[in-house]
Amino acid sequence: MDRLKEKILQEGRYLGNGILKVDSFMNHQIDPILMKEIGQEFARRFALHNIKATRILTAEASGIAPSLSLAMALQIPVVFARKNKPVTMADKSFTERAESHTQGKMVDLTVSSAYLTPQDKIIIVDDFLASARTLKALVKIVAQAQAQLVAVGAVIEKSFEGGRSALSDLNVPIESLATIASFDDDKVNFA
């Protein structure tokens, strides 16, 4: 993912406190050419692990673009956990609470039971793998549904925040497309 790393170097801005702003191509504006490549690269890597998934699970809003791109590559549905349960979601649902790093508050992630079943093999995808708080909430939702987690994908990993080891007991492949080992002032150091 050279194009992704170039984008991070050219357009990413380090705001301090471990927060990298990637608003110009992923979290506010989306570069559709890069996003298509992101989905294809996830698909290529999961194929190397012989992953056969039935659904992708992510969280709104920033997880939707990379997840949809992967869903287009794999031709399987993507389900995005809602942060504000809409009135249209009247079914039985699974909810887990997570702290949002960029919004500084707790959010409830909710998924309708109609779209996560015990027969499902799930890939969880999100924009960042940092402390893995959101990802762990999604993992718990998969467990609530008695579905099988088969892989985790994150576009950008901040390896210094420990999320990967927090997820290691899941024993599934964890793929990130660009891994940041540290920040020096405003300079990004890839792993």
154: closest CA among 45, 72, 51? 45
Cβ(44)–Cβ(70) under 8 Å? Answer: no
Cβ(102)–Cβ(80) under 8 Å? Answer: no
For a copy of itself, the closer CB: 83 or 170: 83
Q: Binding to a copy of itself by residue 54, rule CB under 8 A?
A: no
121-180 residues in contact with a copy of itself (CB under 8 A) are none
Q: Binding to a copy of itself by residue 47, rule CB under 8 A?
A: no
d(CA 93, CA 184): 43
For a copy of itself, the closer CB: 113 or 168: 113
β-strand partners of 180: 158, 190
Element spanning 11, H or E: helix 2-11
Residues 6+ apart with CB under 8 A from 83: 59, 60, 61, 107, 108, 109, 110
93-112 residues in contact with a copy of itself (CB under 8 A) are 102-104, 111-112
* Binding segment toward a copy of itself, per CB under 8 A, in 13-21, 144-152, 163-171, 177-185: 13-21
Tell which one of 10, 50, 90, 92 touches a copy of itself (CB under 8 A).
90
Site residues, a copy of itself (CB under 8 A): 15, 19, 21, 23-25, 27-33, 35-36, 55, 60-61, 64-65, 68-69, 71-72, 74-80, 82-84, 86-90, 102-104, 111-112, 114-115
